[in-house]
């Protein structure tokens, strides 16, 4: 199974059929307090960016939904200073990338974008919301899988290795605060297009 098919399987079709609960954009607000726990208890600062990953579909209605998301994020940029841009990765997926030094603004913007897709009837195109953190040693990410309705940690270690010890520590600290995925086979790593970058770069 190639990388593209694996992403599609774990974050897409298989995740939807195996889902234990329906995904809800309201789950994203759990990150509003989790970022404080990451800093106070684990020493991780947020990276000033977060992202929403979705799969494209060739339809006018979907194009209209994307334009509506852009309009909402544009209004948010004027009100809160939360910048945004789109990115298409090497696997055929698209991202809305948000930039803000206030993590609560990031959470709110990702929620608005996700909720707009849901309200437009394209919630099934949502794959993941990704929130980045870092300390002096490494970066760590919390990924929300829309198809599973749960979070999981991802801690890269080099180009294509991951630090599972740190991931389990993150789970142990945050599982009472976030709805963490119990099945570790769904903790799929979202590798960036190039080493050293974020998954959304």
Specify if 13 maps to a domain: yes
What local confidence, expressed as pLDDT, does residue 124 receive?
Answer: 87
Tokens encoding 156 = 């890269």
Specify the number of domains making up the chain: 1
Domain that holds residue 166: 3-186
26 part of a folded domain: yes
Is 169 part of any domain?
Answer: yes
Q: Which CATH number does the domain housing residue 102 bear?
A: 3.30.70
Residue 197 is assigned to a structural domain of this protein: no
Q: Is residue 40 part of a domain?
A: yes
In a domain, 198, yes or no: no
What's the chain's Rg over C-alpha atoms?
A: 16
Q: Is 94 within 8 Å of 53 (Cβ atoms)?
A: yes
* Element housing 62 (H / E): helix 60-80
Q: Is residue 196 part of a domain?
A: no
Q: How many residues does the chain have?
A: 201
The neighbour count for residue 173, using CB atoms within 10 Å, is 16
What's the longest Cα–Cα distance across the chain?
Answer: 46
Residue 17 domain flag: yes
pLDDT tens profile 12-44: 445 444 545 566 899 999 999 999 999 999 999
Of the candidates 35, 7, 56, 49, the one whose C-alpha atom is nearest the C-alpha of residue 201 is 49
- pTM equals 0.89
pLDDT tens per residue across span 137-189: 999 999 999 988 999 999 999 778 999 999 999 999 999 899 999 999 999 99
């Amino acid at each position: 199974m190639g990388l593209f098919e694996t992403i599609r399987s774990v974050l897409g079709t298989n995740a939807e059929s195996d889902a234990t609960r329906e995904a809800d954009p309201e789950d994203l607000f759990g990150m509003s307090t989790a970022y404080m726990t990451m800093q106070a208890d684990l020493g991780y600062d947020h990276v000033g960016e977060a992202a929403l990953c979705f799969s494209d579909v060739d339809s006018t209605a979907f194009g209209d939904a994307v334009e509506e998301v852009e309009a909402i994020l544009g209004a948010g940029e004027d009100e809160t200073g939360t910048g945004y841009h789109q990115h298409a990765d090497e696997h055929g997926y698209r991202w809305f990338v948000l930039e803000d030094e206030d993590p609560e603004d990031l959470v709110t913007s990702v929620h608005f974008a996700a909720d707009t897709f849901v309200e437009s009837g394209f919630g099934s195109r949502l794959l993941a919301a990704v929130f980045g953190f870092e300390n002096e040693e490494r970066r760590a990410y919390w990924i929300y899988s829309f198809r599973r309705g749960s979070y999981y940690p991802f801690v890269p270690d080099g180009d294509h290795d991951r630090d599972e010890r740190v991931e389990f520590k993150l789970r142990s600290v945050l599982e009472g605060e976030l709805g963490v995925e119990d099945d570790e086979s769904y903790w799929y790593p979202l590798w960036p297009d190039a080493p050293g970058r974020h998954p959304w770069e």
